[in-house]
Chains A and B, each alone.
Chain A
Amino acid sequence: GAGVSQSPSNKVTEKGKDVELRCDPISGHTALYWYRQSLGQGLEFLIYFQGNSAPDKSGLPSDRFSAERTGGSVSTLTIQRTQQEDSAVYLCASSMGTGQETQYFGPGTRLLVL
C-alpha cells in the first residue's frame, strides 16, 4: 500500500514568514510523529499524536512551532515567523499505534529559510 506522504517536498521561504507542512500517514495508522533532521542537531523528535489523546509536544523547540491532526489522519506542522535556524528536513512518520511497533517515515519536506 501507499507509504507516508509529505508535501511540499521542498519549501523556500523568507525569514519571518509562516509555513505549513503536511503529512499523510499510512492508512489505518493511529500514531503520527514529526521529527526534524538538521546538520547541527541530527534527527530530533518534535511531536507525537496517538489517536484522540493529547499530543506529546515535548520536542517542539519554541512556541513558534505547532501541529495539529485533523480527523485522526492528516497532520499539519506550522512554523510561525520562520528563522534561518529552522532550515532543516522535516520528517513525518506513522505507526499502528498498538504498542511495540515500527515507525514508517515519509520522504520529508526540505525547508530553507532565507
Chain B
Amino acid sequence: AQSVSQHNHHVILSEAASLELGCNYSYGGTVNLFWYVQYPGQHLQLLLKYFSGDPLVKGIKGFEAEFIKSKFSFNLRKPSVQWSDTAEYFCAVNMGAAGNKLTFGGGTRVLVKP
C-alpha cells in the first residue's frame, strides 16, 4: 500500500539548533510533495511544496526541503530554529494514481526550548 513515513515522532532541541525531519514515501510514480505545520491551537498551514523542477525548495519561515527521487525522500530542514517553531510537522504526498488526495505521514512534534 502507498504510505508516507516520518521517522521521528518527537524532537526536542534548543533555540539556534539545526532541524532536520525525515520523510519517505512508497510510490514509484510521479508525486507532489508537501510539508504542513500545525502550531499549537491553530490549523494546518502549508510550509512548502514540490511539484517539479529544482529539487531543493524553499518555504516560509526559513524552512527548506530537498526531494531525492532515488531515495523516495523529502526531508525538511531549518538551519537555526526559534522557540516559535514549536509545532507539529506533517509530510504529505499526492501520489499520481491516487488522484488529488493527500497521504500524510504520522507527524513529528517539535519542541524548541528557549
Contact = CB atoms under 8 A, between A and B. Distances in A.
A100 B43 contact: no
Name the residue among A42, A58, A103 with the largest chain B CB count within 10 angstroms.
A103
B101 A56 contact: yes
B43 A105 contact: yes
Given A100-B32, A102-B34, A106-B43, A42 B100 contact: no
Interface stretch (A16-24, A43-51, A60-68, A72-80): A43-51
Contact of A56 (B36, B44, B99): B99
Contacts of A108: 43
Tell me whether chain A's interface is mostly helix, strand or loop, or mixed: strand
B75 interface: no
A33 interface: yes
B83 interface: no
Contacts of A100: 32, 51-52
A49 to B, nearest CB: 10
B111 to A, nearest CB: 18
Interface string B87-114: 0001010000001111111110000000
A45 B100 CA distance: 11
Nearest to B90: A43
Nearest to B105: A42
A59 interface: yes
Given A42-B106, A100-B32, A102-B49, A107 B43 contact: yes
Given A42-B107, A56-B99, 14 more contacts: A33-B102, A35-B102, A42-B104, A42-B106, A43-B92, A45-B101, A48-B100, A50-B100, A58-B101, A91-B43, A95-B100, A100-B51, A105-B36, A105-B43
Interface of A: 31, 33, 35, 42-45, 48, 50, 56, 58-59, 91, 95, 100-108
